[in-house]
Amino acid sequence: MARKKTASKSKRPASGKSSGRPKGRKNQASAKITGFAESVVKSASQRRDPAIVIPMRTLSNANYNKKRRIIEMGRKTATRNFFDLGKAKSFMQSVLIASGCKKLIDENKTVSIRGLYYLSKHTIPGTSEKTFNDQNESDPIIEDLEVSLGSLREELHVFADNRGSIAGNLTVVSLGDEINLRKMGASGFAIPSIVEPDVFQFRKCEAKFILHVEKGTIWSRFNEDKFWKKHNCILIHGGGQPPRGVRRLLFRMHDELKLPLYCLLDNDPWGYYIYSVIKQGSINLAFESQRMAVPDARFIGVRSRDFEEFDLSDDVKIAVDDKDIKRAKQILNYPWFKGKKDWEKEVNHMLEHGFKMEVESLLTKSISFVTETYVPQKLKRRNQWLD
């Protein structure tokens, strides 16, 4: 693949519109790999040095796009040449990983990132040299390939371990099975790692919004109290920091089903950061933002003011430590938080309080306070939502 072309491609994977167009997406990733392979062959046959150009995944190459309100990858790239002693191995590894993904796409199968490591590992004939010594070598190469080709990992048929559950007034189709998320019992449907349109589709949906909660334990409280039924919504959690599958699903539900997304997270730097990743993407995976970030998401709680407003007892307090303070200030300095007066107030209120609060601490009021009183009130008071 020609250098310039790759670099510019990688900034705008697909068509810029990232939503549910199953048609041809899979072939696109496959075609891109073939294109890369052909460029290597062509360079070699023309006695030029085959190379792969990879956009840099560093903080300095992650920009906040104020207009689109997402974190985007910049234009800085690194080139990996075959005839460079220091880079020949990683070049070879990139080709191997690409070849493994091509095989997966062709056979219509998926594997984990560890699986792809094993699939791509072998001993180079005539030597005792391994193509990969451990998974720490193959994982970054997978990310390289994603950004270089402008294809999501999921489109390359590679997944990470899944986390998170969903239930609510929605029917989905996963691998051809129609799944009624209104009938999911105590624990919901386990959210797949790969929810790309070719393998995961939406059907009937009555829900009017999405409620994202931080953890499975809180999700269970809402599910047991039939919150999603009473409030006609979709209830989802991502087991802490939501994995890519959950983020992609949030994006697709928001984008294709036109559902607003409300987040109920802990009032601590970890909760703020989860919100920030859902909303505008992460620095590490800036190239994914446009297909995962939901800039219109809203933070409905837990807010520092809730302590006074809901007359909570001291039992909810968890003292902030130095790490929390450092992290909170760091977060306020992110370009996407900077200048947001409401967020500054919020974080400073937490620091002045000197304590943080978990969603679960609302149990100190009563078992179902969070589902019957707290969130219903929060949903009404739009002026208290944080952007």
Query: Can you read off the two tokens belonging to residue 102?
Result: 């091509």
Residue whose CB is less far from a copy of itself, 50 or 192: 192
Residue whose CB is less far from a copy of itself, 190 or 283: 190
SS (H, E, C) the chain: CCHHHHHHHHHCCCCCCCCCCCCCHHHHHHHHHHHHHHHHHHHHHCCCCCEEEEECCCHHHEEEECCCCEEEECCCEEEEECCCCCCHHHHHHHHHHHHHHHHHHHHCCCEEHHHHHHHHCCECCCCCCECCCCHHHHHHHHHHHHHHHCCCHHHHCEECCCCCEEEECEEEEECCEEEECCCCCCCCEECCCCCCCCCEEEEEECCCEEEEECCHHHHHHHHHCCHHHHCCEEEEECCCCCCHHHHHHHHHHHHHCCCCEEEECCECHHHHHHHHHHHHCCCCCHHHHHHHCCCCCEEEECCCCHHHHCCCCHHHCEECCHHHHHHHHHHHHCCCCCCCHHHHHHHHHHHHHCEEECHHHHHHCCCCHHHHHHHHHHHHCHHHCEC
| Shortest separation between residue 230's beta carbon and a copy of itself, angstroms | 15
Q: Judge residue 349's burial from the number of C-beta atoms within 10 Å of its C-beta, 0-12 exposed, 13-18 middle, 19 or more buried.
A: middle
Residue whose CB is less far from a copy of itself, 290 or 371: 371
| Shortest separation between residue 176's beta carbon and a copy of itself, angstroms | 8
Residue whose CB is less far from a copy of itself, 38 or 129: 129
| Shortest separation between residue 121's beta carbon and a copy of itself, angstroms | 5
| Shortest separation between residue 52's beta carbon and a copy of itself, angstroms | 24
| Shortest separation between residue 183's beta carbon and a copy of itself, angstroms | 4
Is residue 118 part of the annotated active site? The answer reads: yes
Q: Please, which residues have CB within 8 angstroms of residue 129's CB and are 6 or more apart in sequence? A: 123
Residue whose CB is less far from a copy of itself, 316 or 350: 316
Torsion of CA 321, 323, 326, 328, to 10 degrees: -80
- Measured in degrees and rounded to the nearest 5, phi and psi for residue 183 equal -130, 60
- Number of Cβ within a 10 Å radius of residue 108: 10
| Shortest separation between residue 255's beta carbon and a copy of itself, angstroms | 20
Identify the active-site residue in 117, 118, 262, 275. 118
| Shortest separation between residue 175's beta carbon and a copy of itself, angstroms | 5
| Shortest separation between residue 140's beta carbon and a copy of itself, angstroms | 19
Query: Can you read off the two tokens belonging to residue 359?
Result: 């969603």
Residue whose CB is less far from a copy of itself, 126 or 176: 176
Residues that bind a copy of itself (CB under 8 A): 103-104, 107, 109-112, 114-115, 118-119, 121-123, 130, 159, 161-162, 165, 172-179, 183-194, 199-200, 215-217, 220-221, 224-225, 239, 313-316, 358, 360-364, 367-368
Residue whose CB is less far from a copy of itself, 15 or 313: 313
Residue whose CB is less far from a copy of itself, 207 or 362: 362
Catalytic residue numbers? 118
